[in-house]
Structure 1
Amino acid sequence: MSVWLPTAPCTPRTCAGHTGPVRGRLPATALLLAGCSLVLAGVVCVPVVMLLGRAPRDRLIRWWAYGVVRAFGVRVRVTGRPQSPEGAAHTGTLVVANHVSWLDIPLVAAVLPGRMLAKSEIRRWPVVGPLAALGGTLFVERDRLRALPTTVRDIAGALRGGSRVVVFPEGSTWCGRGPGGRFRPAVFQAAIDTEAEVRPVRIAYRTARTDGQAAGAAAFVGDDPLAASLWRVVTAAGLTAEIGVLPPIPAGTLPGRRALARAAQTAVASDSANRSAESVHH
């Protein structure tokens, strides 16, 4: 067991249930096909998209990622201000979020597109692996503690070059109920080394029947098969993905990476993420 391989207590049987309204088999199948088709289209278009300038590329990625979430039948609710204040330094931004589902990836990209930190196994996947690398994905060997310094240097290099880097520092998915996992501090060293800002992001999934509590339909935890999770999402009627973009934390304002990780985790876990929505998409 390494620092990159924490174990969440969440399991599909106890955490991933859905008790609210459900869609019929036919509309759910249509959503499943639409969502998977849009994902595949995005993968195929990666080489062309990477030829674009940063602004049009980010705009296209946001449209595509938002479309993916909606194609799977999930509403999107965004709170907070994604952009830094005018006059902020032109260094990169380390985006850190809690991790609930595979839906987190397009959800974050719909608001704050950036270079993802992913497990090294993805690099070896057919088609997806090379395209992920082409798209700027940073890879980490989670089962090798000695690889951490290299990963931190890679993240620092991306931040120094002005990139936005997206990380899920819990190191594993959690169901969204309770406090979640501890933010591992290693990646925060990259923000300190480059004097980059850290942008905490809060992710939650809810339905009208959950009365403000996390919805289990979106949870992708433990040994849950991806196919089962996909079907659970498209059959869960009224599922809403909430993403709260919290105020940035300048890395230089805290004494070290552990304090920075704690501050980001506290911000994500606090009720301040649940303020009034600035944009709600249906």
Structure 2
Amino acid sequence: MIAALRVAVVSVAFLILTLALLPVQLIALATGHPVMRRLPRWWHRVMCRIIGLNVRVSGQLSRDRPLLLVANHISWKDILVLGSVADVVFVAKSEIRDWPVLGWLARLQRSVFVEREVRRKTGTQISDVSARLVSGEVVVLFAEGTTSDGNRVMPFNSSLFGAASAALPFAPEGKVYIQPVSIAYTGFHGIPMGRYHRPVAGWPGDVALGPHMLRVIRDGALDVDIVLADAVPFDAATNRKAIARLVEARVREGLNAALRGELNR
């Protein structure tokens, strides 16, 4: 009974918040007003509180631009969590565009959709992402290309760093900065979350979205740690595969430190 009531309350709060901000965002998108970048952050912050995501941040968002945030990917909740921390845009798989509700929200927050399997579109898609970087927007890339169980970081796809290379000719100093970001779900109702319980937070690709979303809304109260490592400069002399391995290693270090409770707050 309590669980059903919580789902109802969260659903109503989501509708009220979204419908209240929707006209403002649509007008901002139509006119190009800067609030179109800030409004999603407000929405994400409130939704995190409504759902029960307690977001804790270690480190600082880099002030360097152009800035690409490269993170591990555990769940659809990562969008809410990172979106509540900074004014960002996400690189998302093209199929998300057509998902009910989530796809619509992704379009409203100006996500860049890419078709990773269609090589003939790769150049155009990379240009879209690099244009956002050069314009000063902070772009988030989930370099694993899929979600995990939250206990590990899977290998990063170095080809996804192509947007950083494409932005270099237009970057003021001939550099793009890549900041490793680790996302870790570490607590459940205030109790440290072990490997066994982490699937409550994780959303591996073979788990249906609807039931998992309902479970998260019903249970709530998840502690999430965001670890922002130092940004790494990327220039024309940088090897893309080498930078992918370096960033992957730093994201893994941040995840492991968070899971072991070794973060300095």
- TM-score, length-scaled by structure 1: 0.75
Amino acid at match of 1:68: M
Residue 63 (1) aligns with residue 42 (2): yes
Higher relative contact order (CA 8 A, sep 6+): 1
Aligned residues of 1:254 and 1:260 also touching (Cα < 8 A) = no
Unaligned runs of 5+ in 1: 1-22, 278-282
Distance 1:40 1:231, change over 3 A: farther
C-alpha offsets along residues 101-150 of structure 1, whole Å, 9 cap, x if unaligned?
A: 11101211111222211122244457875774464321111222343333
Corresponding residue SS for 1:110: helix
Shift of 1:217: 1.3
C-alpha offsets along residues 223-273 of structure 1, whole Å, 9 cap, x if unaligned?
A: 322221122112335311221122111113973111111111111100486
- Partner of residue 206, structure 1: 186
Distance 2:224 2:14 in 1: 15
Distance 1:170 1:43 in 2: 31
Q: Which residue of 178, 197, 201 maps to 2:177?
A: 197
Q: Which residue of 149, 153, 166 maps to 1:180?
A: 153
Unaligned runs of 5+ in 2: 169-174
Distance 1:141 1:150 in 2: 10
Residue 228 (1) aligns with residue 211 (2): yes
Corresponding residue SS for 2:230: coil
Distance 1:161 1:237, change over 3 A: closer
Higher share in helix: 2
Corresponding residue SS for 2:158: coil
- TM-score, length-scaled by structure 2: 0.80
Shift of 1:47: 1.4
- Partner of residue 250, structure 1: 233
TM-align CA RMSD: 3.0
Comparing 130-139 with 237-246, greater Cα deviation is found at 130-139
Shift of 1:160: 1.9
Aligned residues of 1:116 and 1:137 also touching (Cα < 8 A) = yes
Distance 1:49 1:64, change over 3 A: farther
Comparing 268-277 with 108-117, greater Cα deviation is found at 268-277
Shift of 1:172: 0.4
Shift of 1:49: 3.9
Residue 165 (1) aligns with residue 139 (2): yes
- Partner of residue 17, structure 1: none
Distance 1:191 1:136, change over 3 A: same
